[in-house]
Structure 1
């Protein structure tokens, strides 16, 4: 039975695009609820410019309020050397660096170019290794760009080749605007695995055009070992026009478990936290499994 690791991103990618503000204490409560339902890793914070992403301004305080057991499986997102230094100072054991596949999106997201970010990645990777911090890198807009349109697979593979020069612990492919389709995912993952070799491959899908779960299933069947998802399906990139949520954790877990994959998750615990999250947001969550319930029903 294949094991799929679920990376919970609601405390970071989920909240960053929400209009409802969460206090530091409420973010900690969300993270603790996710930790009860999942034994895998959780993205808990972004070390980014607070003026550009206000919801993530208290990442250091959030980490300081977590238990050691949760910190040990926490991830912080970084965009540059300054963010990496903040992550080091906060004592987080793992960071995820954002690479962008197109120059226009790189300029919008990180005031850089793809080539510039590849140089930044080298420095961030070096800082992480010197501080004994696990470092992963995700290629955003790998399946399509909101500004430049189609992104060729050859370009993404060229970026992966350059990334691998600095020996990441994990590499990710992100469908930032939800434009990818299963056939594209199949081709991209097969090509990526030839480049990354034994390095762990992770995928991040959005449900913008309602194919996020289909893409995740294909990725899992093609040997991707880790998939990102967000409790309730909340979130989206603040620099991607018309961005909508990530694939819902509840839906992903249910689909994978029913399909024969081993997923270390407790849907009852997850949906308890989903109910609290829905109440806090004051609107219905996108997750279909949360609304319809699991099948067969859990006693």
Structure 2
């Protein structure tokens, strides 16, 4: 210990500038976390309200709600079938066909079923379907509902005694959940068939029976259950997030575009988190 330290027993105090910088960095880091927590709380509350309405009022006006659900299925499912046919052909060539060709060259063709289940069935197929539906349908949902909220149409429904959640949100949640599930199955089947077609054109020595036998041997009952839950969950996440940003808060027409951007980012994050949850399920069930 030096003489100066002995003469001054008090520890050196941080300067006001360093204290200000520390508090400023805490504010900068804390505000995004607080906003994220508030948004997550709002989305969770909106999802619980939707679930409650679906549970308590699901049997009311079945003809009207059923017609609205069919409209959403046509909008988010049937009209996207040509696009998914193209995606299936592209993925069959880029992923399956190349995988079969390279595994054949390496002498590891016996691992084809495992690779396809891991890449396409568990991860790429469901997530790609959700992203395509988000970009093609999710943006339109936010704009549609946000414009209706800005023009006072939602308040008009409430004045007529119509629950906006039951009339606007529930059909979209059910319709998108069914659409993402059906489109994922359609994409996977098209990719598997087109993948073998591309492999056949490359003269890969693999018979159709052996190709499909490996796929069937690599699939487990857990894959079918998780595929259904994951894809339906993707559709639910997309619908809840887009409807929340379109309806949950008062909007002006100028606010619709920023709300759409926020909804797209948050829906993407929600889908990734939902996908990560099922990764844990696979690791535990392995």
Task: Compute the TM-score of the two structures, normalised by the length of structure 1.
Answer: 0.23
1 or 2, which has the higher strand percentage?
A: 1
Which of structures 1 and 2 has the bigger CA Rg?
2
1 or 2, which has the higher helix percentage?
A: 2
